[in-house]
Amino acid sequence: MPGRKRTWEAISFELVMTASALVALVLIVAPSLVIMIVSFTSGFSLKFPPPGYSLRWYVELANAWQLHFAARNSLVVAFWSTALSILLGVAAALAIARSRTLSARLLDSLFMSPLVLPALAFGLAALMLFSLVGLPVSPLTLVIGHTVVCVPYVVRNTVAALAQLEPTLLESSAVLGASQVYTFRRIVLPLIRPGVIAGAFIAFMSSFDNVPVSLFLRDAATDMLPIRMWQDLEGKLDVTIAALSSVLIIATVALVTVMERVSGLSRRLTS
């Protein structure tokens, strides 16, 4: 930087900040690396560094039918919750994005509130309601509960994408005689699609990972993966879970990389 003196004072500041940032970044990455290394252990414990390396726990994982069953349930629930979130969330976002009215602001706050309210309290409340009306826990109750806590991500990202839309584009389309439906299909939707995809992706991941709502709304027949893993870990520190964790980490990295290409995920979350 021209004109700025490289004094000891300036250097100390840069050093302290850079060092803290690097420590923080290592702190963020280290746990994932550690768990991937431990998953290749040849031993029976989570000792680090492992006494030797093998693929035995991945073989265990391939035979762990309880985990497969829970994973399949989680994927199905996450899929339907995301689909429902897109349907309800995008429609709501279209109405509230450009509106300055009080009712739009209030609805916006309502739709965002599951993000800050303790989800466990909502999970309990939903269980109470379902048992009051006599609806037994099932994949359906799980999808309903997950949609409530996942739809905010779709609404928020779609609203953000709509806010960046040039109003003149829509005006010109209207002036040229296009109907609102046509304009939506040919102009609005293509332009907001990356935002909707980013929101849907986050909604999917948070449904797949959800514990507080699933805790109350599932039973043995609808076992969910994060809860199965949690209960396995409460009982014993099983290395199979480490192998499964590595698989999930790799899958997440792969998905995030794809999403970064498709929807510019990182830009979306920092603007």
Partner 1 sequence: MGAAPKSRDATSYGIGLTAPLALFFAVFFVAPLLQLFWLSLHNDTAGLQWGIGQYLHFLADPFSLGVLGSTLLLGVEVTAVCLLLGFPIAWLYHRVGPRLQTIIILIVLLPLLTSVVVRTFAWIVILGRQGIINATLQSLGLIDAPLKLLYTQFGVVIALAQVQMPLMVLPLITALSRIDSNLDDASCSLGAGSWRTFRRIVLPLSLPGIIAGCTLTYAAAITAFITQSLIGGGQMLFMPMYLYQQASTLQNWPFAAAISIIFLLAVLAVVSIFTALGRMSRAYGGA
Rounded Cα–Cα distance for residues 153 and 199 (Å): 5
Q: Does residue number 121 form part of the binding site for partner 1 (CB under 8 A)?
A: yes
Residue 213 near residue 74 (C-beta atoms within 8 A): no
Q: Does residue number 51 form part of the binding site for partner 1 (CB under 8 A)?
A: no
Q: Which of 59, 253, 254, 262 binds partner 1 (CB under 8 A)?
A: 253
Residue 74 near residue 208 (C-beta atoms within 8 A): yes
Q: Does residue number 66 form part of the binding site for partner 1 (CB under 8 A)?
A: no
Integer angstrom CA distances of residue 90 from 119, 161, 181: 22, 11, 14
Q: Does residue number 226 form part of the binding site for partner 1 (CB under 8 A)?
A: yes
Q: Does residue number 203 form part of the binding site for partner 1 (CB under 8 A)?
A: no
Indicate the residue type of 74. S
Q: Does residue number 265 form part of the binding site for partner 1 (CB under 8 A)?
A: yes
Sign of CA dihedral 227, 211, 141, 133: positive
* Residues numbered 1-30 forming contacts with partner 1, rule: CB under 8 A: 1, 3-4, 7, 9-10, 12-14, 17-25, 27-30
Residue 72 near residue 224 (C-beta atoms within 8 A): no
Block residue for tokens 């940032």: 21
Q: Which of 71, 208, 218, 240 binds partner 1 (CB under 8 A)?
A: 208
**Which residues touch 77 (CB under 8 Å, ≥6 apart)?**
139, 142, 143, 146, 207, 222, 224
Q: Which stretch binds partner 1 (CB under 8 A): 54-62, 64-72, 75-83, 232-240?
A: 232-240
Rounded Cα–Cα distance for residues 146 and 189 (Å): 25
Q: Does residue number 159 form part of the binding site for partner 1 (CB under 8 A)?
A: no
Q: Does residue number 145 form part of the binding site for partner 1 (CB under 8 A)?
A: yes
Q: Which of 75, 83, 140, 215 binds partner 1 (CB under 8 A)?
A: 215
Question: What single DSSP character describes residue 100?
Answer: -
Q: Does residue number 151 form part of the binding site for partner 1 (CB under 8 A)?
A: yes
Please count the other Cβ atoms lying within 10 Å of the Cβ belonging to residue 23: 10
Nearer to partner 1, 35 or 161 (CB): 35
Q: Which of 42, 45, 54, 66 binds partner 1 (CB under 8 A)?
A: 45
Q: Does residue number 129 form part of the binding site for partner 1 (CB under 8 A)?
A: yes
Q: Does residue number 114 form part of the binding site for partner 1 (CB under 8 A)?
A: yes
Nearer to partner 1, 196 or 241 (CB): 241
Q: Least separation, in Å, of the C-beta of 237 and partner 1?
A: 7
Q: List the structure tokens of 53.
A: 């390396």
Q: Which stretch binds partner 1 (CB under 8 A): 56-64, 75-83, 191-199, 259-267?
A: 259-267
